[in-house]
A and B are shown apart, each in its own frame.
Chain A
Amino acid sequence: MTSTTGAALTLDKVTKRFGGVVAVNDVSFSVAPGSIHGLIGPNGAGKSTLVSLISGYQRADGGTIRLDDVAITGVSPLRIALRGLARTFQAATPLQGMTVRENVEVGLHTTYTAGLARTLLRGPGVRREDRECRAATVELLARYGLTESADRLAADLPFGQLRFLEIARAIAREPRILLLDEPAAGLDQTETSALADLLRHVNGEGTTVLVIDHDVPFMFSLCHDVTVVNFGSVIASGVAAEVARDPVVRDAYLGSGSAGEETE
């Protein structure tokens, strides 16, 4: 089981510019270990850029990002992933030509990897790993409602199931922190509430969750803490209920009345 102690993420004065445009401006906030933390803000507020910076896909121009108190600014996405950070993308990325089951098994790769020689020799250790990997896959598929689609090509899944597959694949290796970029976008009411339950379950298993979305009711019902960004800057951060009452937030964002309806 992944330990939750110390699995926190800290952003300290992080800045990212694209040409003359400041996409992320001096952003600081931290994610408490074991929490579900929400990052909300309208389209273009810099949310997705923040996800890219945290997961190493883009490099910050200034500031420091710490994962579990270790600076990860400038570290490659692979190394960050191996440090225990998992993420999903806004657009699904099923592995082409592989089934739903295989996609989940690939997610378990770092947990169960017998090398070339060991696999060819088929020692008892390899067979045990195979069994464990299969059992873990079956369990994940069942929890994410994918058992019946297990042998379909992942790319052929309907939109909602594909979203769940992405999450199942990402959390298979029990990451310390899971980043989700707009997980509720495009999901219907039933799917959104199933998503919330799954994320609570993931969190209950010990994974810290950072969710980026602009579905306000979904976010405030799910998250313990919320950080609100607008125009690349943090305008409020704290316990969800308090942030929801913050007049600055209401004026700038929640009060606009259009927040919940925006989709991409």
Chain B
Amino acid sequence: MSLVIAIGIATGCVYAIIAMGYSLLYRTTGVVNFAQGSFVVIGGLGTYFFRSVVGLPYPLAVVCGILLTGIVALAFWVLIIVPLWRRNSAPYVTLLSTVVMAALLGNLTHLLLSPDPQTLPPWLPGFTLQLAGTQIAGQYVVVVVVALAMIGLTAWYLQASATGRAMRAVAASRPTSRLLGIDPERVGGTAMLIAGLLAGVGGALITPAQLTSPDQGLLYGVFGFVAAVIGGLGSLRGALIGGLIVGVLQTLIVRYISANFEMVIVFALLLVLLTVRPRGLFGVAEFEVAH
């Protein structure tokens, strides 16, 4: 049982990282980015590529994998979302572009690498944790510690930095931000970059613990989205809590019921929550989503 919970918490931390990306981008720009889960795959398989194909030392491969994810996210922003914004496209067009992007990234990874799932060595070889008589793979501990540190760092950055303040200003009102000389396109790009880097870290972290395959992006994207909505889309604290809830719940279902039910039950939970508490657990006031 404690092993299942531990795995659930570790998976949940990755969902939390994805959910944070959703929330950060949504609250800054109003864009819901379903490619967020694909960024996790890029982070994981990118690290695999730089280590096993290019032959870089592992730590350097991790850094390159994470940077690659950031670059892909930023390119998506500059080449696809910004032109759609400038044309005043309807929100559903932007949303659709993110779904297409997710599929495209999955297929590209599939073609460039292979359709097979890949794994990586643990970050701390030989490290395991004894907890209540169960042995837990050390990588799960690494996932939790690093993920929580990244989430904490992001939250601090958004609170303490001028850029974080500008993001909140853009979230509050794009026209007023422009008036004060703040460029929403640039600030949105920073939010997208941070979301991409976070997802890259998530991918590099989870791949040594679980397998990562090119077609996993949409699944990560969906579970991360559910986590973000459960926590309250736009809330960073909610992203963490929502991620943990979805991660633990999913692992429990897979272990004690059946893997066939994980989607059904997680979506049922989402539906109930949306009916009872449409803003999610920590949802703040609805954000004005104007062009």
List chain A positions with a Cβ less than 8 A from chain B: 55, 76-78, 81-82, 86-87, 93, 95-98, 102, 105-107, 109-110, 112-116, 119-120, 129, 133, 169-170, 173
Contact = CB atoms under 8 A, between A and B. Distances in A.
B285 A169 contact: no
A97 B287 CA distance: 10
Interface string B183-195: 1000000100110
A27 B232 CA distance: 50
Q: Is the interface of B mostly helix, strand, loop or mixed?
A: helix
A133 B161 CA distance: 11
Contacts of B277: none
Contacts of A114: 161-163
B157 interface: yes
Interface residues of B, number: 28
Interface of B: 153, 157, 160-163, 165-166, 168-169, 171-173, 175-183, 190, 193-194, 284-285, 288
A251 to B, nearest CB: 37
A95 B172 contact: yes
Nearest to A113: B162
Contact of A110 (B153, B175, B180): B180
A119 B163 contact: yes
Given A86-B179, A110-B182, A169-B180, A96 B285 contact: yes
Given A113-B163, A116-B190, A77 B179 contact: yes
A115 B165 contact: no
Contacts of A110: 180-182
Contact of B173 (A77, A78, A93, A133): A93
A158 to B, nearest CB: 20
Contact of B181 (A81, A115, A116): A81
Nearest to A87: B179
Nearest to A155: B172
Contacts of B183: 78
B168 A95 contact: yes
A96 B172 contact: yes
Interface centre among B157, B163, B171 (most CB of A within 10 A): B163
Contacts of B177: 106
Contact of B176 (A93, A112, A173): A93
A119 B165 CA distance: 13
Given A77-B175, A109-B162, A119-B162, A173 B168 contact: no
A6 B153 CA distance: 45
B173 A116 contact: no
Contact of A102 (B165, B182, B190, B285): B165
A120 B162 contact: no
B225 to A, nearest CB: 23
Contacts of B162: 105, 109, 112-114, 119, 129, 133
29 contacts: A76-B178, A77-B175, A77-B178, A78-B178, A78-B183, A81-B178, A81-B180, A81-B181, A86-B179, A93-B176, A93-B179, A95-B173, A96-B285, A96-B288, A102-B165, A106-B165, A106-B182, A109-B162, A109-B182, A110-B182, A114-B161, A115-B163, A116-B193, A119-B157, A119-B163, A120-B153, A169-B180, A173-B180, A173-B181
Contacts of B157: 116, 119-120
A116 B163 contact: yes
A113 B180 CA distance: 13
A77 B175 CA distance: 8
A96 B173 contact: yes
A165 B285 CA distance: 23
Contacts of A173: 180-181
Nearest to A154: B172
Contact of B169 (A86, A109, A170): A109
A78 B161 CA distance: 22
Nearest to B164: A119
Contacts of B169: 95, 98, 106, 109
Contacts of A93: 173, 175-176, 179
A98 B172 contact: yes
Q: A-B pairs with the 3 shortest C-beta distances?
A: A95-B172, A110-B181, A78-B178
Contact of A97 (B163, B166, B172): B172
B194 to A, nearest CB: 7
Residue among B162, B165, B172, B183 with max Cβ neighbours from chain A (10 Å): B162
B173 A107 contact: no
- The CB with the most chain A CB atoms within 10 A, among B160, B180, B284, B285, is that of B180
Contacts of B171: 97
